[in-house]
């Protein structure tokens, strides 16, 4: 397998919401290029986090890639606001989106990159009609809603499947993984074929976040 360097996308779900700018600077200081934004509505998943106003506030203080993960019902209702707020990527969940193709197209029309996310119980085969058109596939390696969970190992097989399909058909989507990624699990996730690793607790709770990023990337 090629020895590529994966990108790390710290999730601000694990940051201090009172000191969000401090969290963003911590991400920048660790030389990360992505920021992961877990948007939850208390319906599709139990917690409530934030919405487009937080995205706009973060956009106002950084030029990093803003990767919005919509764990919400009726995600199509939020796309225009997220585009205006400055999101770069928007991922919606296959499990609660009926007209997924329409929403993927709308995300692109608004000038953003379109992603599709799946929970651990959803097979890769369910994505067959969308893989040719999405820019990103987000594989949840824990059940969504809460940070600090342990990775579900069988989810790595889905990453491998997606990487194999991408190579076979020449698709160009990025593969992201979210959940339980830390220095202990990073090697297995990298070997499975991801491009972007979402890290929350492992990044923000690290004594040395830049070093933690390099360890997860396999650089040291």
**What would the pLDDT profile of 128-143 be if each residue is shown by its tens digit?**
999 999 999 999 999 8
Confirm whether 135 is a catalytic residue.
Answer: no
Looking at 38, 67, 135, 195, which residue is catalytic?
38
Looking at 41, 178, 191, 208, which residue is catalytic?
178
- Residues belonging to the binding site are 11, 36, 38, 69, 145-148, 178-180, 200-201
Q: What is the pLDDT of residues 186-216, one digit of tens each?
A: 999 999 999 999 999 999 999 999 999 999 9
Residue 116 within any structural domain of the chain: yes
Residue 105 within any structural domain of the chain: yes
Residue 162 within any structural domain of the chain: yes
Domain extent at residue 144: 7-217
- Residues belonging to the binding site for a divalent metal cation are 36, 38, 69, 178
Number of separate domains in the chain:
1
pTM: 0.95
Residue 1 within any structural domain of the chain: no
- Residues belonging to the binding site for substrate are 11, 69, 145-148, 178-180, 200-201
Confirm whether 101 is a catalytic residue.
Answer: no
Residue 57 within any structural domain of the chain: yes
Residue 72 within any structural domain of the chain: yes
Residue 2 within any structural domain of the chain: no
According to the model, what pLDDT value does residue 147 have? 67
SS3 labels along the chain: CCCCCCEEEEEHHHCCHHHHHHHHHHHHHCCCCEEEEEEEECCCCCCECCCHHHHHHHHCCCCCEEEEEEECCCHHHHHHHHHHHCCCEEEEEHHHCCCHHHHHHHHHHCCCEEEEEECCCCCHHHHCCCCCCCCEEEEECCCCCCCCCCCCCCHHHHHHHHHHHHHHHCCCCEEEEECCCCCCCHHHHHHHCCCEEEECHHHHCCCCHHHHHHHHHCCC
- CATH number of 158's domain: 3.20.20.70
């Amino acid at each position: 397998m090629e020895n590529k360097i994966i990108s790390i996308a710290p999730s601000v779900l694990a940051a201090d919401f009172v000191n969000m700018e401090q969290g963003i600077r911590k991400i920048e200081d660790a030389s990360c290029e992505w920021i992961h934004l877990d948007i939850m509505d208390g319906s599709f998943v139990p917690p409530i986090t934030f919405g487009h106003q937080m995205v706009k506030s973060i956009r106002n203080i950084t030029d990093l890639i803003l990767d919005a993960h919509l764990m919400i019902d009726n995600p199509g209702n939020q796309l225009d606001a997220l585009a205006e707020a400055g999101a770069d990527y928007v991922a919606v969940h296959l499990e609660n989106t009926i007209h997924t193709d329409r929403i993927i197209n709308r995300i692109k029309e608004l000038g953003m990159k379109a992603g599709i996310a799946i929970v651990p119980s959803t097979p890769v085969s369910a994505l067959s009609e969308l893989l040719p058109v999405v820019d990103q596939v987000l594989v949840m390696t824990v059940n969504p809603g809460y940070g600090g969970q342990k990775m579900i190992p069988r989810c790595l097989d889905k990453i491998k499947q997606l990487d194999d399909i991408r190579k076979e058909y020449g698709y160009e989507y990025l593969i992201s993984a979210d959940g339980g990624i830390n220095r202990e699990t990073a090697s297995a996730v990298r070997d499975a074929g991801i491009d972007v690793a979402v890290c929350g607790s492992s990044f923000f709770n690290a004594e040395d976040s830049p070093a933690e990023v390099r360890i997860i990337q396999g650089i040291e």
